Chain A
Amino acid sequence: MSHAAPAPVGGKLVTPITTVLGVMVLAMVAVLAVRFVYGLGAATNLNNGYPWGLWIAWDVVTGSALAGGGFATALLVYVLNRGEYHPLIRPALLAALLGYLQAGFSVVADLGRWWDFWHIFWPGYAQVNSVLFEVAVCIMAYTVILAIELLPAALERLGWQRAKKKLERVLFVFVAIGVLLPTMHQSSLGTLLVVFGPQVHPLYQSTVLPLLFLTSTIGMGYAAVTIEAAISSVALRRPLEKEILGKLLQIGRGLMALFLLVRFGDLVWRGALHFAFEPSLPMLTFWVENLLFSVPLWLLASAAARGRARLIFLGAMAMALGGIVYRLSAFLVAYQTGAGWHYFPSLGELTVTAGLIAFEVLAIILAVRVLPILPAARSSS
């Protein structure tokens, strides 16, 4: 069976929703203007106790993990040769590209001396012992790879069939790199915390952080793909690919089980399990995450449940939410820098984060309307 080829959805570009999203983006631009003219302190609540705030913890770490659907689906389709997931690949890649673009954008907004950003890649400045070096180089490279992976869609739209053919002949190399790079930097996003040492609560600080971040990223990626599919199916009044998504979440369940196994195994191994029962804010977030991660394990246990759109969606939401809470709390709650320090994102930081999400959604809406991203509509079977 061959899937329907992707095609532009069409429709009006200016709608009430796109207008609201546009306003949110404009608000973000205003805040960023303040940030670039007066400095980070004028727009954010960042301080020396919490030098990394919402923009890093959400926009970069969490945003890029939710964008992990791109590589997670590519892994499935191209490497593990599971062609049935193919209809998901282009929307996933688009969401990934936008996710990584907004992550890169947040990094620039967050960097104090952003004009020297190129130092990271420059021999003489580059410092290979730094986890951040690896993360930055990898993310940068992967964003380029994502753009290349999506290029066929643009070439198709432009009608440059020969260029598209040529590109497709070598695309496998980029696909392979496009799976490798996120594997590296998504795990390294967890490794970032290792150098913080005892500043990170023992429930979170561990040398298995890269593995935990990687497994949860792939799970979050599949969850994000599922949620996007659900949203577009409702928004565009199309049937949901329940069969594929159910299988996808079956893999997600495996990952969640692995995550929980590794997490608790590591706690037992390190003799830190008792912290899970000593009242503290990180303890609270720890259990919230574990609970959310375990939702797909029992909610989607039966094949019947995996056939129901609502449960598929809820399972995916729990998985994504778990990953979000895990990342936010690892970077902001479990990170305890010393007595007396407080941080909560300022209105400006929240505006920028909301604006970036709005930008992503806006871009996806516009892209699916003009580019061949989503599979052409079929009549409901």
Chain B
Amino acid sequence: MSFDRRDLFRLAAVAATGAATQAHARPNKTMPEEALGLLFDGTLCIGCRACMPACKEANGMPPELTPLEANGQTSAVWDAPLDISGSTLNVIKAYRDGTGEHKDEVKDGFAFTKQSCFHCVDPSCVSACPVSAMTKDPVNGIVSYNVDACIGCRYCVAACPFGVPRFTYDTPKPKISKCQLCRHRLEDGKFAACATVCPTGATLFGKVKDLKAEVARRKALAPGTPTTYPRGRIGGGDSYSARAGRYVPRVYGEHEIGGTQVLHLSGVPFELLDKPELPERAPAAVSESLQHGLYYGLLAPATFLGILVAAARRNMVAAGKNPDEVKKP
């Protein structure tokens, strides 16, 4: 016969390696020039949580009457979400240790952190979504969700390393909920509701490049130096005077999975705030490199199929036999 099994394997191996070498590993995506984002400075946050109801109001979301069992509550009358969820896009959480007396200290201290979408530069949710319901705006970089496209597979929920897209499990017509940086308010000249109401500018809205400059400025200040903090959004005119905070060196979101458009500064290490340790290489880029490497131009599958058809034809038809009576080799 023209080729035997060994030849078949050889051919398949050649096809596979050929495809793999032709496919280029996809690098991480890069930040859009005019990307919009948030800066959350935990040292400025006073824990007023004004951003939480403001977010709900701006996005038309219902309150979550969750009793905090950790505090011995059995019922709740106020909106007290445990976490972001199908009906909460933004939560201020508090780390606390021991007596919880000192702000931004690890021992016997407390610190605030914000949980909401990070608007990754190379988002896993966008890469995972099989139906383009999750998209990243090419201009402002906002990761947004289209309920009309969504099939509710929750691959985005599973894929996001920050645990951001959330699903409404309690309804037969569910959807994904996630912060979309109040993109519906941008047209009217408004901006993210959480940043709008934040009384201390702990949540600050702006272009990512401006936010990064602000981060650099804050980190360069010696703790305690009198300084001016913008409030609301960068360039919005509102500001106030206070003293510079003491930061841990890391800026969360600068490098995590290739960078995010929401940056976090903190006075305590980020692992205490449940912010995951993430590599710089975006999982989306790894996944797409692998997938496109295997399926580059459909070369490998097409080659493999050709071999399979040839072999099957030879064994089933050319031999002139009923497939039920395939000859013994």
Residues on A facing B (Cβ under 8 Å): 1-3, 5-6, 36-42, 44, 46-49, 51-52, 77-84, 86, 110-114, 116-117, 119-120, 124-127, 129-134, 136, 152, 168-169, 171-173, 175-177, 179-180, 183-184, 187-188, 191-192, 194-199, 207, 210, 335, 337-339
Map CB proximity to A onto B273-289 as digits: 1 under 8 Å, 0 otherwise: 01011110011101110
CB neighbours of A116 from chain B (8 A) = 131, 149-152
Chain B interfacial residues counted at CB < 8 A: 71
Contact call B291/A198, Cβ cutoff below 8 A:
no
CB neighbours of A48 from chain B (8 A) = 83, 85-86, 157, 163, 166-167
A-B residue pairs, 3 tightest by C-beta: A112-B152, A197-B283, A41-B169
| A250 vs chain B, min Cβ distance (A) | 15
CA of A224 to CA of B146, assembled, Å: 41
CB neighbours of B173 from chain A (8 A) = 113
A176 with B129, Cβ < 8 A, contacts A48-B157, A49-B163, A111-B153 known: no
Contact call B325/A125, Cβ cutoff below 8 A:
no
Contact call B305/A42, Cβ cutoff below 8 A:
no
Binds A, one of B187-195, B214-222, B315-323: B315-323
A198 with B277, Cβ < 8 A, contacts A48-B163, A179-B308 known: yes
Contact call B128/A112, Cβ cutoff below 8 A:
no
Instruction: Judge whether B139 is part of the interface by a CB distance below 8 angstroms.
Output: no
CB neighbours of A78 from chain B (8 A) = 311-312, 315-316, 323, 326
Contact call B128/A39, Cβ cutoff below 8 A:
no
Map CB proximity to A onto B102-138 as digits: 1 under 8 Å, 0 otherwise: 0000000000000000000000100111111000000
Not counting A36-B172, A84-B328, A129-B291, a sample of 6 additional A-B residue pairs whose C-beta atoms are within 8 angstroms of each other reads A47-B169, A80-B5, A83-B327, A195-B283, A198-B283, A199-B158
Contact call B132/A127, Cβ cutoff below 8 A:
yes
CB neighbours of A82 from chain B (8 A) = 329
Contact call A338/B151, Cβ cutoff below 8 A:
no
A197 with B291, Cβ < 8 A, contacts A2-B325, A172-B309, A180-B308 known: no
Contact call B169/A46, Cβ cutoff below 8 A:
yes
Residue of B132, B150, B286, B305 near A180 (CB, 8 A) is B305
A38 with B172, Cβ < 8 A, contacts A111-B151, A114-B152, A172-B317 known: yes
Can you name 25 A-B residue pairings with CB atoms under 8 Å? A3-B325, A39-B174, A51-B167, A78-B326, A80-B5, A80-B311, A86-B324, A111-B151, A112-B167, A116-B149, A119-B149, A126-B131, A129-B284, A129-B288, A134-B295, A152-B323, A172-B316, A173-B309, A176-B305, A179-B312, A188-B291, A194-B286, A195-B284, A207-B286, A339-B274
What residue in chain A is nearest B295 (Cβ atoms)?
A134
Residue of B149, B161, B282, B286 near A199 (CB, 8 A) is B161
| A251 vs chain B, min Cβ distance (A) | 12
| A138 vs chain B, min Cβ distance (A) | 10
Residue of B274, B290, B308 near A338 (CB, 8 A) is B274
Residue of B130, B150, B167, B311 near A132 (CB, 8 A) is B130
CB neighbours of B174 from chain A (8 A) = 39-40, 112-113
| B242 vs chain A, min Cβ distance (A) | 32
Instruction: Judge whether B301 is part of the interface by a CB distance below 8 angstroms.
Output: yes
Contact call A127/B283, Cβ cutoff below 8 A:
no
Contact call B326/A77, Cβ cutoff below 8 A:
yes
Contact call A184/B151, Cβ cutoff below 8 A:
no
CB neighbours of B315 from chain A (8 A) = 78-79, 81, 172
